[in-house]
Structure 1
Amino acid sequence: MNNNVFRMGVLAAALAAAMATTAGFAAAVSPTGNPARMNLTALQGQPSFDRFIVTYRQGSSERTNRAAAVQNVGAALNRAGLVRAGRSVAGAPASVSVRYQRKLAVGADLLRTSRPLDRSEAAALIRQLSTDPAVAYVVPDVLRHRVRDVPASKLLQPQTVTPNDTYYAKYQWNLKAPDGAVTTEGHANLGGTNVNNAWDLSDGTGVVIAVLDTGITTHVDVDTSLGDAGYDFIEDSLVSGRATDGRVPGGWDTGDWTTEEPWLTECTDADHPPEDSSWHGTHVASTAGAELTNNAVGMAGIAHGAKILPVRVLGHCGGYDSDINDAIVWAAGGHVDGVPDNTHPAKVINLSLGGAGNCPASDPAAQAVAAANALGAVVVVSAGNENIDASQASPASCPGVITVASTGITSRRAFYSNYGSAVEIAAPGGGVYENDASSGTQVNDGFIWQALNSGTTTPVPDDDSYGGYAGTSQASPHVTGTVALMQSARLAAGMALMTPAEVLATLQQTAHAPSVAPPANRGIGAGIVDANAAMRAAIGEDGGPGEAVVLTNGVTLAGQSGSAASSTVYTLVVPAGAMALSLRTYGGSGNVSLYAKVGAAGSASDYGYKSTRPGNSESVVVARPAAGTWYVTVVGETAFAGVSVLGSFRAPH
């Protein structure tokens, strides 16, 4: 059984080297460019680039005219010293030209140079483009990779399929309650997600989960009913493995091996050794919910009543940002030129992939996430497996995503897992070794077990293989499946679906603290996801926020209104170590009062803090707020309308 996977982008060179210019071009290159209009951090992740994503300003001719865009990049190439008059001198880099590729769903343009540029040449071009008034933002089109997970030894693999999901009892500690119950391996389970108790009320029915990965393969224990409804977004023929460039219908995994030409030469190096096909998407999708459950075969999936929409964005060599970003928009129900609209829009999207570089709000990846969020889709992302701060990884650092770190059966942060302020929550990804140590002997309950495929290159049809992986790739679908359970429960209760911000707040409010706390400088968010608590909180049970309005740190909620004597409750999750909490109402008409309390809704007779000035400008400021859920009750002293509510704090470092 194949368990190899690609490495997430690794730091291949210092950023200073990536930003340097060659001596021959130095005189023509702007020394700094415009930092607000470019992102050079992703240049760390690979040695050369021939694709660039340029966002042109609204109203510029380049925004709507392909020829103007090509001319614009050509001029930047010339300023960077990459266009050489006459014949090239022997041994010198060839002169560079540019051609137009396509318009992305977020409105940016993809352009391709006639030859790959090394890091310094790419940096020079990006800097020159960033100085052009027509350019709003420019980034290289980076090849992302599925997170490099740790494969379980073949000695640990299940050998035969037995009735009644028997493998669930032995292998799937991750879906059980973190109550210390001893596993068949003799280990106390303190890291599970309590999915088994959530199944009493929800199985994900009515929700579509999109898994953006290598695609999916047919398997006796996997629901692939939306396989044809998915899409293969890989445009480049080298990456897709097809004879010609272009995207095709169907989310099927045709293999991503790199042990043969042309991929052996084009895709492999010290950081990305030759590997058999990974079938990564099948494993990830199975964890989220594709694995058939209670069917007397194999394993169980989290939201097994949901439908899994497979979207292929990773192939041989990985997958380009430009394809991944389009796929995010499409999966959520947005339009992508040249692709039929998605007939099964997803309400939760899983991305178990990534690479080097940060992702500010102006980045096309962040814009794609924002578009998906606006369509109501929650985007869940792996934090990465480099044991670094996730702020250095993309899309883990994109605003609007839920970034997931990995923990093991003891609840300890997995030794490989990325961490830091960019991480919102943690979930089981597997600790690999006994007691979640960083080395030693592999154990069954050090991995996440699901369906796989036994093919080394192309897939074996209707396979019956299973395998274990450990990584943040496995952690993120636990959160993805939990979100589907939450939304499904609300649908069953006749309630509106939660917004992405409400989902995140509820996940964080109900997460359980790890028994083995991470160091202060290795944070893993609010704790470990608790599927049962989150699902019940989503429908107002067990002390959850119910119909409270969820606030997001620093995000104004405008247009609030109410009648005289009305009472509206808002919640804001404040992490440990946060400073300068501010709870405010302002603007609009009428008169309101504000009552704040930690842990439960307050009122005029029961509050921790209050502000009752005439009018709508109310404010509570707490220098060192207690960690937990803060409830903000806004009471209409008279009828009010157009009021803004804002909760903000300074996040811990």
Structure 2
Amino acid sequence: MNRVFRTALAAASVPAALASSIMLLPLSAQAAPAGAQPAQPVTERPFERLIVGYKSSSLEASSDDAAASDTRGKAARVGKDLKLDRRLSTGAAVVDLGGKNTKDQAARTIEEFRADPKVAYVEPDLMMQPLAAPDDTDYAKQWDLFEATAGMNVPDAWASTTGTGVTVAVIDTGYVAHSDLAGNIVSGYDFVADSSRARDGNGRDNNPADEGDWVKRGECGTDLAGQPVPAKDTDSSWHGTHVAGTIAASTNNTKGIAGIAYNAKIQPIRVLAKCGGATSDIADAITWASGGTVSGVPANPTPAKVINMSLGGKSSCSSTYQNAINSAVGRGTTVVVAAGNSNDDVANYTPASCGNVVSVAASSREGNRTWYSNYGAKVDVAAPGGETRRATDTPGTITTPENGILSTLNAGATTPGAENYKPYQGTSMAAPHIAGLAALLLGKDKTLSPATVEQLIKDNARPLPGTCTGGCGAGLADAAKTVAAVGGTTPPPAGTFSNAEDVAIPDRGAAVTSSITVTGRTGNAPSALKVAVDIKHTYRGDLVVDLLAPDGTVYPLKASSSGDSAANVLATYTVNASTEVANGEWKLRVRDVAAYDTGKIDSWSLTF
């Protein structure tokens, strides 16, 4: 099914007085025949052992007999069958708990060790599980989610949020039943007022089922040159269902594809039918989707926090669109719009050029702006839209279907048939990537405003790895980085090297060190090398902290201070290390100059 969706009217044919009546069309540039598992939150699992780090000054730190004796004494006090199992390479002792214990069950034993002044730290010997990919059978074909070059880095966001509690309205052709989406569909509405175009015989109603948007050659009139629109018979696109699958297809259900916000809900709203969709219908749909009142239409029981509109036409943004969008945003709904597929400045297209929207350009698998995508100053961000053929290919030919965006679809040529999956390309496919990302953000923090959602997406985008002539906004959206930025947990910037191992700090003992090996840098360290330190300690005034360069040069970070009784060292120091070669082994050295208080190096990092 080869389709190039174009507007029926050129800009010159649209006087300002008629702008609100333009018929808008889906923004997929072409359809074509055509998918490592979400990083799941790690749940607590029973454990059988503890890891006990004894202070280096204690006999237990060096003597297995002493450690075994200490373990037996604690076993008697807590009434459990404890025994020394072995030593780790770090010198810590592994203590067998005599069977599987949850953290609560082992709490008394943990507290017994923790209360011992000879113990620097104690922690469960937890079982880690592989963070596998989804078991959806076509997930491997969804390069747009996970490929390093130009994927949107979605799996690394799933450990934090999957869009739970967020409704996304897909204002499009409606919904054709698909088992990979059914569990995430909530009630929507059919806003197509013209019953003849709607093909359901009754105009607006509460059934947003996609009746098919197939048309015969010339059935939608003629263009300015008198040519028939469309130029040839076209099949139904099932466009809204494809868009919805990208946002929230069911995931980990051993079939099909994975949705970006797979625990979000999709609200299908039908505005596109035979020959496209009317501005009046779409404006009402925007209002209703966001919880506003539309005359003659029942109130929306589940207003959407995100709207996706993968549709558009050639015109400047009309007051009708802008007013509807402003009202939706004022109600707290983020509006995402496809930039358009005419390889033109987005300023000439609506609703992508309207204010208060997130306007999305399409990028290819190689990380370039696609040949068809609109561009320009009004584009906010780019997302994978796919390229199943290039502009230089013969129109209608399918050259690289694997480089399109795979999603849920239907095999029916006109009316619905069997469900299936196919790749499309278009800014229609790029927009739902951003709508899905917005749902992930709101799933993590439902108080985020539309302006904040947009700014987070733009601030955390990365440069396109390829080219974008004309402008692609902030760059390629990065789901993991954007989600991590919610609540201030922005991931380390490029050029940051970290160590998160626990290193016990003995009281009044020898200095301990934690190492970071820096590779891949060129030249010397900067004159403002950042050293971020997280040390857990019950009396930080006892600590002396230094940075050791690869050549042994010492950079003092913190001196001891007997009057500083606060706990922990959580600080970022700036070091002028411009004479040091960046690559090599850097060390954080910590010494406790007093007795009684204990702690550990929890983590530290270098940012060049």
TM-score (norm 2): 0.61
Report deviation, 1:239: 1.7
Q: Deviations over 1:297-317 (max 9, x none)?
A: 011111010000000000011
**Whole-Å separation in 2 of the counterparts to 1:327 and 1:139:** 18
Distance 1:453 1:318, change over 3 A: same
Flag structure 1 segments of 5+ consecutive residues without an equivalent.
19-42, 44-121, 127-137, 158-162, 179-189, 492-496, 546-605, 607-653
**What letter is aligned with 1:442?**
T
Distance 1:394 1:515, change over 3 A: same
Match of 1:473 among 423, 428, 449: 428
Find out whether 1:166 has 2:164 as its counterpart. Answer: no
- Structure 2 counterparts to residues 73-92 of structure 1, below 5 A: none
- Structure 2 counterparts to residues 216-255 of structure 1, below 5 A: 216-223=175-182, 226=185, 229-244=187-202, 246-255=203-212
Determine helix, strand or coil for the equivalent of 2:424: strand
**Whole-Å separation in 1 of the counterparts to 2:4 and 2:190:** 19
Match of 1:200 among 159, 172, 197: 159
> Contact (CA 8 Å) 2:184, 2:250: kept in 1 or not?
no
Q: Match of 1:367? A: 323
**Whole-Å separation in 1 of the counterparts to 2:231 and 2:262:** 34
> Contact (CA 8 Å) 1:10, 1:356: kept in 2 or not?
no
Size of the aligned set, in residue pairs, is: 392
> Contact (CA 8 Å) 1:352, 1:476: kept in 2 or not?
yes
**Whole-Å separation in 2 of the counterparts to 1:6 and 1:345:** 32
**Whole-Å separation in 2 of the counterparts to 1:418 and 1:272:** 22
**What letter is aligned with 2:185?**
L
Report deviation, 1:253: 0.8
Q: Match of 1:523? A: 471
Q: Match of 2:460? A: 510
Match of 1:328 among 286, 292, 296: 286
Find out whether 1:209 has 2:168 as its counterpart. Answer: yes
Determine helix, strand or coil for the equivalent of 1:403: strand
Report deviation, 1:12: 3.3
Match of 1:404 among 334, 342, 360: 360
What percent identity do the matched residue pairs reach? 41
Q: Deviations over 1:444-479 (max 9, x none)?
A: 43200011001111112xx33110101100000000
**What letter is aligned with 1:485?**
L
Distance 1:272 1:331, change over 3 A: farther
Match of 1:456 among 390, 395, 413: 413
Between 271-280 and 305-314, report the one with greater CA deviation: 271-280
**Whole-Å separation in 1 of the counterparts to 2:291 and 2:437:** 21
Distance 1:292 1:225, change over 3 A: closer
Determine helix, strand or coil for the equivalent of 2:138: helix
Report deviation, 1:274: 2.2
> Contact (CA 8 Å) 2:481, 2:491: kept in 1 or not?
no
Determine helix, strand or coil for the equivalent of 1:485: helix
> Contact (CA 8 Å) 1:536, 1:544: kept in 2 or not?
no
**Whole-Å separation in 1 of the counterparts to 2:468 and 2:331:** 35
**What letter is aligned with 1:482?**
L
Find out whether 1:285 has 2:244 as its counterpart. Answer: yes
TM-score (norm 1): 0.57
Distance 1:430 1:452, change over 3 A: same
CA-based RMSD: 2.7
Report deviation, 1:201: 1.3
> Contact (CA 8 Å) 2:28, 2:425: kept in 1 or not?
no
**Whole-Å separation in 2 of the counterparts to 1:200 and 1:292:** 16
**Whole-Å separation in 2 of the counterparts to 1:475 and 1:349:** 14
Determine helix, strand or coil for the equivalent of 1:249: coil
**Whole-Å separation in 1 of the counterparts to 2:184 and 2:442:** 21
Match of 1:425 among 334, 359, 381: 381
**Whole-Å separation in 2 of the counterparts to 1:280 and 1:500:** 25
Find out whether 1:9 has 2:15 as its counterpart. Answer: no
Q: Deviations over 1:492-536 (max 9, x none)?
A: xxxxx21111111111110011111323xx100000011111111
> Contact (CA 8 Å) 2:19, 2:315: kept in 1 or not?
no
> Contact (CA 8 Å) 1:230, 1:310: kept in 2 or not?
yes
Q: Deviations over 1:48-82 (max 9, x none)?
A: xxxxxxxxxxxxxxxxxxxxxxxxxxxxxxxxxxx
Between 504-513 and 272-281, report the one with greater CA deviation: 272-281
Distance 1:392 1:535, change over 3 A: same
> Contact (CA 8 Å) 1:409, 1:445: kept in 2 or not?
no
Report deviation, 1:402: 0.3
Q: Match of 1:142? A: 22
Determine helix, strand or coil for the equivalent of 2:445: helix
**What letter is aligned with 1:222?**
L
Q: Deviations over 1:373-405 (max 9, x none)?
A: 001000000000000000000001010010000
Q: Deviations over 1:411-436 (max 9, x none)?
A: 10001000001100000000224xx7
Distance 1:238 1:420, change over 3 A: same
Distance 1:194 1:243, change over 3 A: same
Match of 1:256 among 209, 213, 236: 213
